[in-house]
Amino acid sequence: MSENKKLRMGVLGLGEGRSVISAVQQSSLWELGAVCDLNEQLCRERMAEFHLPDYLTDYEEMLRDESIDVIGIYTPDQLHARHIIMALEAGKHVVCTKPLMVDLTMARDLIRAQKESGRQVFIGQSSRYFEAAMHQRRDFEKGRHGELVTVETHYVSDSRWFLERAWSHREGFSWMYNFLIHAVDLALWYLPRVEEVYGVGVCSSNSASRGVMAPDALKFILKDQSGVCASINGNYAVPALSKPAEHFISCTLRGTSGASKAECPFDYYHHFSEPGIYNTTVHENYDERRPYYYRFEGDTHHAGEYQNYLEYFARCIQKGETPLPDLKEGIRTIAVMEAMNRCLSSGQVERVSDVLDAWGLKEDIEP
Ligand SMILES: NC(=O)c1ccc[n+]([C@@H]2O[C@H](COP(=O)([O-])OP(=O)(O)OC[C@H]3O[C@@H](n4cnc5c(N)ncnc54)[C@H](O)[C@@H]3O)[C@@H](O)[C@H]2O)c1
């Protein structure tokens, strides 16, 4: 595809899709093809907010528009797999928000649909695209940490407001797949070959009394094939501490020649040094980037993360490269989460390869 042609985006789901519209409008690599949501009132609000000429309420009508190259999927978690397959069958590339899906039931159908279409599926794991996380990743890729020894991630937020949503009460919703996945994805970004997992979860009375019985306090240890391990922590239905006591998402890397901590969105600490030198921790702060990341009222939408990942995705399509996380990496993440879920009931260490075997996915995901 020509490096100069803008990609045309069709946005499905205009809640979080609001950030996508903003990102597309501000990017030189994208243009808006259509927006679609079942909720007409929301469509009208987005039309007014972004000065759009029109909207659609029928996904299939958006898929029939041949001028659209890519579908951005921002519908409730339980619908993602079906919506991705529909887009692939219509010959579109796909960017889908997290989680790729809420179990592995449709994994093989997704793999088949992608093979048949020859199109790209990119998972919008937005936390990789906060300023602090991107700086940490660059240092990691330069090898500044030496050999990685441990990773610690957390995502903590008081998200009791989420229980107001109808789909948080539908089958398939869990705090783990919807929320903890940010912390799981950061850990797997550094340890892509996690094999053993162990953890515990607590369903607090704050969640249970509102009818959501999924554990909202979650702690896991993940170990990869070489023995390097990650710890993952999440709390979602109890009060959370605010900055500076606690940042909502963080990732700490400890290696043989350095340690670093990305406190998302805007604080990055690192210490790369020789033995015996302890007081050289550098603190970088990117608060000046706040207006780029947070474009709407409050801190609820992070449009800057979306613009970062959409521009990465566009460059991959232009160059004919596979954007990561792709479908295979996304499915492996869900398999790791299924192993984590199994621990919650078995109380035992669970293996990711057993999950992949059980679903007949091993050859596709780990050939
Ligand atoms: N940082 C992040 O990456 C991030 C943050 C928040 C939410 N999300 C994800 O984004 C997705 C949407 O979350 P949300 O908070 O916007 O939820 P939401 O409930 O506010 O929005 C979902 C929208 O999808 C629409 N919809 C449902 N089925 C449809 C269909 N068949 N056709 C057209 N529209 C349809 C609904 O009408 C609704 O407006 C979820 O999967 C969530 O996990 C990601």
Distance, in Å, from the CA atom of 149 to the CA atom of 323, rounded to the nearest integer, reads 27
Q: Which residues line ligand 1 (CB under 6 A)?
A: 12-16, 36-39, 42, 59, 74-77, 79, 97-98, 124, 126, 165, 178
Write out the two tokens for 263: 């406190």
Distance, in Å, from the CA atom of 326 to the CA atom of 120, rounded to the nearest integer, reads 8
Contact 273, 280 (CB under 8 A): yes
Model confidence pLDDT, tens digit, residues 227-283: 999 999 999 999 999 888 888 999 999 999 999 999 999 999 999 987 777 778 999
Which top CATH class is 7-127?
alpha beta
Q: What is the DSSP string of 59-83?
A: HHHHHH-TT--EEEE-S-GGGHHHH
Structure confidence at residue 181 (pLDDT): 98
User: For the whole model, what pTM was predicted?
Assistant: 0.96
Q: What is the DSSP string of 93-144?
A: EEEEESPS-SSSTTHHHHHHHHHHHT--EEEE-GGGGSHHHHHHHHHHHTTT
Where the chain has pLDDT below 50, the residues are none
Structure confidence at residue 301 (pLDDT): 87
For ligand 1, what atom is nearest to the CA of residue 127?
A: 1
Distance 235 CA to ligand 1 centre (A): 21
For ligand 1, what atom is nearest to the CA of residue 125?
A: 3
Distance 14 CA to ligand 1 centre (A): 7
Structure confidence at residue 321 (pLDDT): 96
Model confidence pLDDT, tens digit, residues 74-125: 999 999 999 999 999 999 999 999 999 999 999 999 999 999 999 999 999 9
Contact 109, 47 (CB under 8 A): no
Which top CATH class is 129-286+333-351?
alpha beta
Residue nearest ligand 1's atom 40 by CA:
76
What lies within 8 Å, CB to CB, of 10 at 6+ separation is: 33, 34, 35, 36, 62, 63, 65, 68, 70, 71, 72, 92
Residue nearest ligand 1's atom 25 by CA:
13
Q: Which of 261, 256, 18 is nearest to 137 (CA)?
A: 261
Q: Where are the domains of the chain?
A: 7-127, 129-286+333-351
Establish whether the linkage from the previous residue to 265 is cis, with ω within 30° of 0.
yes
Distance 71 CA to ligand 1 centre (A): 14
Distance 158 CA to ligand 1 centre (A): 19
- Please count the other Cβ atoms lying within 10 Å of the Cβ belonging to residue 211: 9
Structure confidence at residue 273 (pLDDT): 81
Distance 68 CA to ligand 1 centre (A): 20
